Amino acid sequence: MIDSLPVATLAIKGFVKGPPCSEHSEPVYGGYANGRGEIVLFAKDFAYHVNFKNQILKQRPPLNVGAQARYDATEAGEDFEYATKTFRRLSRQQISEICTAGHFRLGSKF
């Protein structure tokens, strides 16, 4: 369940491909890291997979109901399991640091 107030704001500098656009902001409500260290941040209607190397965000569908329930029941900084995989719920501070870590552009969807 998404909290009513965002944890941080993610500045999106434009698109990887396509016409140039002005920078816009996206409120971020939470996020997790998977076992490989990949980061996913939650926006209101979808999630962003974060590619730090290329500074690209890739839109993903939001968590399904079962995964969301596990995420919601987990304290920030703690691990949770879903479908035999382990994930770590990110803290507010970690999410804020990620949101300010680069000049992200929006890549292709899914």
- In a domain, residue 3? The reply is no
> Structural domain of residue 30, as residue ranges?
8-106
Q: Which residues fall within 8 angstroms of residue 31, CB to CB, at 6 or more apart?
A: 39, 40, 41, 42, 89, 90, 94, 95, 98
Residues of the chain above pLDDT 70, percent: 91
Cα 35 to Cα 80: distance, rounded to the nearest angstrom: 11
73 belongs to a structural domain:
yes
**pLDDT tens-digit series, residues 53-74:** 999 999 999 889 999 999 999 9
Strand partners, 40: 32, 49
The single-letter DSSP state of residue 22 is -
Specify if 36 maps to a domain. yes
Residue 51 lies in a domain: yes
- Specify the pLDDT at position 1: 47
**Confidence band, pLDDT 50/70/90 cuts, at residue 23:** confident
Whether the model clears a pTM of 0.95, i.e. scores above it, the answer is no
| 39 within some domain | yes
In this structure, is residue 68 part of a structural domain? yes
For residue 75, being part of any structural domain is answered with yes
| pLDDT score, position 18 | 66
Nearest-angstrom CA–CA distance, 89 and 92: 10
> What's the Cα-to-Cα distance from 59 to each of 80, 82, 110, rounded to whole Å?
22, 21, 6
| Residue 1 belongs to a domain | no
The number of folded domains in the chain is: 1
